[in-house]
Structure 1
Amino acid sequence: MTSVIGLLLMLITVTDGVVTHCDGRQNGAQCYGALGGTVSLQLMDDFSGIHRYQVKAKNVTVLSGGKKQQPVIMRKDRSSFLPSNGTFWIHNLSRNDSGEYRLQTFDSNGKLTENRTLQLLVQAPVSSVSLVSECLSQGEMKESCSSEGGDSPQYRWTLNGKSLTEAELLSGNKQTNIITLKQHVSGRLVCSSWNHVSSASNATNICTCGFIYINCTFNGTKISKWVFQENNTLCVESTTEAQSIMVHTDPSVLRCSLMFLFSVVSFVGIGVYFKWKKIKYEKAEQFAARNRRKFSEDFSENEQTL
C-alpha cells in the first residue's frame, strides 16, 4: 500500500510532462519516451509469483526483487515499480535513459527462466509548428512547415479536412515539410508535425494569390493560362462579354434583378400614392375654405338686409 501511495504522489509531480506507455512483454519491443516526461514499461502481467527478477540497463541493475524480497530500485527519485501489474516507471527522462533494458527471471534453484530485452528511445517532443506561405510567379503556392524541439519529426498535410491529392500538389508529397500547391487550390490547409511521443499542428487559409484562369479565344488565338488579375490585359473584352452573358443567363442574378426592379416599382408606386393623397387632401381643404368664405359672405349680406 505504501508503494502505491508513493507512486501516485510521484505521478502527480510529473503531470506537466508527456506520459507514454509501452508494452514490453514481447522480446525486442521498441519503446519511446519523451524528454523530461515519463514512460511506463509493462514488463510482465504480475511479478508477485516470480521467485527472483532483475532489470538491467546498460549492464547496470536498475531494479531487482522477488517473491520474498521487496523491490530494490536504483534511482528512487526517478523510478517507481508496481509488482502487482508488472509496470516499471521512469520519470523525468533524459537522453541517457535511452538504450537496451534486459529483464531476467530466476526460479528457486537460481535457474534463468526468462531473458528478454526492449529498446527505449528518448525523444524531444514537438513543441510548436510554424507555417510560411509564398506565392509563386504563376499563382502556385509554396508552403513550408517547420517544427521546434522535436526529434525526427514527420509531417502530414490536409486540405479542408482531407489528405492532399496529386491533383492539388505540384511538387512534394503529403509527408514532406515543403510542398507546392497548384494554382486552383484554396481552403484551410493544416500541417501536422509528429514523432513517437508528441504531435502539434498549425493551419492557414490559402487562396489563389490574386490569379485568375483565362480560357478564351482572342483574335483567333486560343488562350488558356493563369494570370495576375490586377495586371490582366488578356481577353478583357471577351471576358466582359462572357460575364455579361453570364449575368443575363444566371437564374440567381436574374432573380435578384427582378426583385430589385420590383422594389423600385413598389417604392415609386407608394410615393405616387401618397403624393396623390396629399394633392387630394389639399384640394379638399381648398374647396372647404371656399365654401366657408361663401357661407360667411352670404350670412353677412342677409344681416345687412334685415
Structure 2
Amino acid sequence: MTSIFMIFTLATTALAKGAIECNFLEPTGPRRCSGAVGQPLIFHLTDTVNPDVMLKKDKKHMILKVKKHSVTVNEEYGSFTDGILKLGKATKRHSGDYLLEEFGSDGNLQKKINMQLQITASVSKPAVSQVCLSPDLMNVSCSSEGDAVEFTLTLDGHFLLQTEGRSPSQSSGTINHQTEDRCGVSSVTISLYGQLTGHLVCHVENNVSRDETVVRLTSCEEVSSFPVVTVAVTAGVVSLLLLVLLCLWIKHVRNQPRPTTVDEGNGEVEIIYSDVRVTRKPRA
C-alpha cells in the first residue's frame, strides 16, 4: 500500500530570551528561581562591600567561597565580581538547591538564604501530522521536544484538546495516547471525523517557553487510497522528525535477535541477522 506525503511551509514564532537572574538579596527565607536551558545565568548574592560568603549547591558542592578578599569559584561556574556571580549559559546540571551564607568581619553568620533553581528545556516547534485511516476517520498527532510539555489543539478556533500536568481534557474526538520517550519527545494523538477541514493549531508550552504550528486539515473523503500521511515541516521540525525516527530505529535495533554462534568440531559459524526492507515507489 502506497503512502502519500504532503509538505507545508510554516512560519516560526520566536520567543525572546533574557538572562536568568536569581536574587539572594531579599530577607532571609526560601526563594525560587527558574529559567530555560541556554539562557545566561546570574546570581545576585550580596550588596555588602568585601563580604565573606559561602555558596553551596545541594548541601555538598562548594560553588563559591570568599574569605578575607580571597575568592574561590568552582571551575564549572563563572566569575564573581561586586557581589554578582555570573555562571554563563544555564544547563539542567545547574538545577538544585543553593545555600548562601554571609559572615561579618567577626566571623559570625549574618545572613542565610536558600534558593531553589530549576532549569528547564524549552519546547521545540511542534511537528503535526494528519493520518487518514478511512473516509470517516483521521488521526491528528502533535510532537515536541522539551520538559513538561503541555499541548492545546484547536480547529478554526474551536477547542479540541488540552493537556495539563499530563492529564488530557477535550471537547471532541478521542485521545489515543500521549507519550514521552527517552529521547525527550512528547506527543499527543487525537482521532477525529474524517471529513473535518479547517485550520488546526497545535500550541505547546511549558513554564519557560511556548510555540505553535498551524496546518490545514484535508478531508479524508477526497483521498482515493489509505493510509495517507500529511506532515507539517519546517527546518526545526525536520530535526524533530529525524529525532523521532532515530528513536524508533534504536528501539528496533534493541528488539532484534542477537547473533548466535554454532560450534561444530573446531570450527565456529556466526549467524548474523539482518533487516531488509523493500520500499514501493509511488506510481507515476
1:22-33, aligned counterparts within 5 Å? 22-25=21-24, 27-33=29-35
The structure, 1 or 2, with the larger RCO (C-alpha pairs under 8 Å, 6+ apart) is 2
Q: Match for residue 281 of structure 1?
A: none
Which deviations, in whole Å up to 9, do the C-alpha atoms of 1:135-189 show, x marking residues without a partner?
Answer: 34463442111113x233222223345644789621249x972223456753221
In the superposition, relative to structure 1, how do residues 137 and 21 fare at CA in structure 2: closer, same or farther (>3 Å)?
A: same
Q: Name the % identity.
A: 27
Q: TM-score scaled to structure 1, two decimals?
A: 0.48
CA-CA distance at 1:124 after TM superposition: 3.2
Distance across 2 between alignment mates of 1:163 and 1:40 = 40
Residue matched to 2:154: 158
The one of 76, 97, 101 aligned to 1:100: 97
Q: Distance in 2 between matches of 1:135 and 1:168?
A: 21
- The Cα of 1:20 is off from its aligned counterpart by 4.6
Q: 1:135 aligns with which of 132, 145, 166?
A: 132
1:210 aligns with 2:210: no
Contact 1:142–1:179 at 8 Å: present in 2 too?
yes
The aligned residue for residue 88 of structure 1 is 85
Report the RMSD for the aligned CA atoms in angstroms.
Answer: 3.9
Is contact 2:53–2:100 with CA below 8 Å preserved after alignment? yes
Higher gyration radius (CA): 1
Tell me how many residue pairs correspond in the alignment. Answer: 189
Bigger proportion of residues as strand: 2
Following the alignment from structure 2 to structure 1, what is the Cα–Cα distance between the partners of residues 159 and 70?
53
Cα distance between partner residues in 1 of 2:19 and 2:207:
9
Contact 2:63–2:77 (CA<8 Å) still a contact in 1?
A: no
After superposition, the Cα gap between the structure-2 partners of 1:103 and 1:170, relative to the gap in structure 1 and judged at 3 Å, is same
TM-score under structure 2 length normalisation: 0.51
1:2-41, CA deviations, whole angstroms, 9 ceiling, x for partnerless residues? xxxxxxxxxxxxxxx9655254446443433444443234
Corresponding residue for residue 62 of structure 1: 63
What is the identity, as a one-letter code, of the residue corresponding to 1:60?
Answer: H
Matches within 5 A, 1:10-21: 19-21=18-20
Distance 1:204 1:138 in 2: 19
Which runs of 5 or more structure 1 residues have no equivalent in the other structure? 1-16, 212-227, 230-306
How is 1:1-306 mapped onto 2 (pairs within 5 angstroms)? 19-25=18-24, 27-43=29-45, 47-49=47-49, 51-58=51-58, 59-65=60-66, 69=69, 72-75=72-75, 78-81=77-80, 83=82, 87-137=84-134, 139-148=136-145, 150-160=146-156, 163-164=159-160, 169-172=172-175, 177-182=188-193, 185-210=196-221
Larger helix proportion of the pair: 1
**Aligned residues of 2:20 and 2:39 also touching (Cα < 8 A):** no
Which 5+ residue runs of structure 2 have no aligned equivalent?
Answer: 1-15, 162-168, 179-186, 225-284
For 1:79, the aligned partner's letter is: G
Q: Distance in 2 between matches of 1:71 and 1:24?
A: 20
Aligned residues of 1:19 and 1:38 also touching (Cα < 8 A)? yes
Residues 162/41 of structure 1: CA separation in 2 closer, same or farther (3 Å cut): farther
Deviation at 1:194, TM superposition (A): 2.9
Q: CA deviation at 1:106?
A: 2.0
